[in-house]
Amino acid sequence: MASDDELIPVLSYARISSDTEKDEHGVEDQHKLNRSTAQRHGCKVVAEITDNDVSAAKADVTRDGFETMLRALRAGRLPDGQVVRGVVVVADDRLVRRAGDYERFVDALTYDDGRVYADAKGPKNLYSEDVEAMGLFGVVISKIEVRKIQRRLRDNHRSRAERGVPVGGTRPFGWNADKKTLNEAEAPYLRQAIRDFARGKSLTAICAEWRDAGVKTTLGNDWTLRSLKLTLWNPRSCGWRRYRGEILRDEEGNPIVGQWETVVSPGEWEAVDALFRARQGRAVGTGQEIGEVLPENFSQARHLLTGLLRCGRSHDGELCGTALRVSRHKDVKSHLYVCPSKAAGGCGGLGRRGDLVDEYVTEAVLAKLEERQARAASVEPWDGEDRIKRLIGKRSTLTDRWEEDEISDDVYFPRVKKIETQLKELRAEKARWEARAARAEATGGDVRERWSTMHLSQKRALLFEALHAVIVSPSGKGRKPFNPDLLKPVWKED
Ligand SMILES: [Zn+2]
């Protein structure tokens, strides 16, 4: 038995969920489980942190406990000076409420070396490259749970967000002091840089160009890689806003469009976003601050599909879903993608030859991108504009008649509500159509040709932009010939 001061001091985190149907675990239960898990793994709980989403849903969605935990992890100590070296969260579905949370948590935990994280399955190594995969999985989850998230957003930020009002701070590069109209001198630089970056130009090269051209930040400073990166990655360029790591969306899941002029289309900005995201995961792996290192150093993912492949084996009717890892076998020349062992959080029961999977998925994505381009080129412009105009006309006629007392409240309000619902749907349809067209455009016409000359990080950025995941189904016992039917791509919106 280890003496008390040999035990690693950790936090115990618990959350009361607002999903009452799921709340079979009380907070006390969660902390109790955390304490015993900590003990089993040579840790001791030095502080219990609890969040209550039930009340938070009404007043403020900030999870104070979660934020306190992140601060303590980054500092390595609690406000009272007590050292903290990790976290135990047995009910780990309580830890992450949305995609951004997971990344921030991993970021804070891995801020220093040798930190411990344990959930119901035991300790997990958050420094490993799998973190990237888990983080991305979080993004998939957030899409599935997008409605839930929106409900919370609505509670809190809706009015401000829906107005799309620019918020405080320094003047953003590319816009005038009103933060709405484009700055004619700066905006073209920003636009060109976003497009260049999406097509593979390095931050270093763009930064050098701007310096040579005498372009300064809005505070009059020279551009650095870090400031340039923050500027290119800011969704403001396409009219969107990020709040706590996520794009603000309305109830339909469409990004809320701000009241300022835009520099590029959403599709163009999303290409940049995908590229930064693909790099970001590796930055967590090495524990380095993103942006302080040349981007080239982030381009060293060793395998094409790390983070994209998911185990499709079922156990008791539940999909394993674990991110596959790269492994080797003495009898196989190629690398292998395998489900990690049970101890490492997977089922350990699935593996596939890497070269064949790489080739098949590449071909599938290239075909999909070409198909999208072809479709975008052949598709007529969106034809709903007339319907929108008609509905708006109808609404104003109704309003006129209502104001003239020709129709009663009982007639007017239900009808207007119906029209507004239709309008909302049409506008959402329009936004989807535009995003699709922009995406196809952003990919460029010769993607297959360029593929062979692309850097691995650029290929990965394209793959991650096209796919949520690829589910790899089991092929049965023993070694079988490669069967592409057992690979199921999960495409991001068609
Ligand atoms: Zn598995």
CA dist 455 and 451 (Å) reads 8
pTM comes to: 0.37
pLDDT of residue 251: 62
Distance 314 CA to ligand 1 centre (A): 8
Distance 372 CA to ligand 1 centre (A): 32
Return the pLDDT at 384: 85
| CA 228 – CA 242 distance, rounded (Å) | 17
Interacting residues of 29 by C-beta distance below 8 A, sequence separation 6+ = none
Residue that has been written with the tokens 């790899």 in this structure: 472
**Contact (Cβ atoms closer than 8 angstroms) between residue 269 and residue 195:** no
Two tokens, residue 88: 């135990």
Contact 204, 229 (CB under 8 A): no
Ligand 1 centroid vs 474 CA: distance in angstroms? 9
Instruction: Quickly name the fold that domain 4-132 has.
Output: Rossmann fold (3.40.50)
Asked if 197 and 203 touch (Cβ cutoff 8 Å), the reply is yes
CA 170 to chain centre: 26
CA of 275 to the centre of ligand 1 (A): 28
Level-2 CATH architecture, domain 164-298? Alpha-Beta Complex (3.90)
User: Angle at the Cα of 154 (from 152 to 156), degrees rounded to 5?
Assistant: 75
Q: How far is the CA of 322 from the centre of ligand 1 (A)?
A: 6
The answer to whether the beta carbons of residues 282 and 132 sit under 8 Å apart is yes
Distance (Å) from CA 339 to ligand 1 centroid: 5
Q: Give the Å distance between the CA of 320 and the centre of ligand 1.
A: 5
SS (H, E, C) the chain: CCCHHHCEEEEEEEEECCCHHHCCCCHHHHHHHHHHHHHHCCEEEEEEEEEEHHHHHHHCCCCHHHHHHHHHHHHCECCCCCECCEEECCCHHHCCCCHHHHHHHHHHHCCCCCCEEEECCEEECCCCCHHHHHHHHHHHHHHHCHHHHHHHHHHHHHHHHHHCCCCCCCCCCCECCCCCCECCCCHHHHHHHHHHHHCCCCHHHHHHHHHHCCCCCCCCCCCCHHHHHHHHHCHHHHCCCEECCEECECCCCCECCCCCCCCCCHHHHHHHHHHHHHHHHHHHHHCCCCCCCCHHHHCCCCCCCCCCEEECCEECCEECCCECEEEEECCEEEEEEECCCHHHCCCCCCEEEHHHHHHHHHHHHHHHHHHHHHHHHHCCCCCCHHHHHHHHHHHHHHHHHHHCCCCCHHHHHHHHHHHHHHHHHHHHHHHHHHHHHHHHHHHCCCHHHHHCCCCHHHHHHHHHHHEEEEEECCCCCCCCCCCHHHEEEEECCC
From ligand 1's centre to the CA of 309, what distance in Å? 11
Centre of ligand 1 from the C-alpha of residue 378, in Å: 41
Q: How close is the Cα of 319 to the center of ligand 1, in Å?
A: 8
**Dist. CA 297–CA 282, nearest whole Å:** 9
Query: What does the alpha-carbon distance between residue 148 and residue 152 come to, in Å, rounded to a whole number?
Result: 7
Q: What is the distance between the alpha carbons of residues 231 and 464, in angstroms, rounded to a whole number? A: 22
Could you tell me the distance, in angstroms and rounded to a whole number, from the CA of residue 349 to the centre of ligand 1? Answer: 6
Q: How far is the CA of 313 from the centre of ligand 1 (A)?
A: 5
Q: 472 CA to middle of ligand 1, Å?
A: 9
- Decide if 28 contacts 16 (C-beta within 8 A): no
How many A from CA of 365 to the centre of ligand 1?
24
Query: How many whole angstroms from 488 Cα to the centroid of ligand 1?
Result: 15
- pLDDT, residue 184, reads 94
Rg (CA), the chain: 25
Q: State which residues have CB under 5 angstroms from ligand 1, the bound ion.
A: 311, 313, 320, 322, 339, 346-347
Distance from residue 124's CA to the centre of ligand 1 (Å): 16
pLDDT in tens, the chain (494 residues): 445 567 889 999 988 765 544 455 677 888 988 999 898 888 999 999 988 765 444 444 567 888 889 999 988 888 888 899 999 988 766 776 665 677 678 778 877 777 888 877 777 776 654 444 444 344 444 343 444 444 444 444 444 444 555 555 578 999 998 888 999 999 999 999 998 888 778 888 899 999 999 999 988 888 888 889 889 999 999 999 886 667 777 766 678 888 899 999 988 898 888 778 766 544 322 222 333 333 333 334 468 898 889 999 987 778 888 889 888 887 778 889 999 888 777 888 898 999 999 999 999 999 888 887 777 776 667 788 889 889 989 988 988 898 888 888 888 888 888 998 888 888 878 877 776 666 666 666 678 888 887 777 778 878 887 888 899 999 877 677 888 889 999 887 65
